[in-house]
Amino acid sequence: MSASLVPIPLGAALIMGFSMNQLPMAQMQLFQDLNRELGVLCQDPPRKALSVCRLHSRLVRTP
């Protein structure tokens, strides 16, 4: 699974009507950091993290 630039809180940002381009740079960096760490975790996830990794997979999947 690749560590792409799609964070888990993306849904909340879209609900509020923001695009990724309108997010402050500090938040964007946090999203990138979170996404990178989730990518590493989900390479070999512990059982308790499987649902988080499934969500992360759905978010980073490209059509």
* Integer Cα distance of 51 and 63 in angstroms: 21
Task: pLDDT band for 63, please (50, 70, 90 cuts).
Answer: low
* Integer Cα distance of 9 and 44 in angstroms: 22
Mean pLDDT score, 48-57 = 92
The answer to whether residue 44 scores a pLDDT higher than 60 is yes
Task: pLDDT band for 38, please (50, 70, 90 cuts).
Answer: very high
Residue with the larger pLDDT of the pair 10 and 52:
52
Mean pLDDT score, 30-56 = 92
Mean pLDDT score, 45-57 = 92
* Integer Cα distance of 62 and 4 in angstroms: 10
* Integer Cα distance of 56 and 4 in angstroms: 10
* Integer Cα distance of 43 and 51 in angstroms: 13
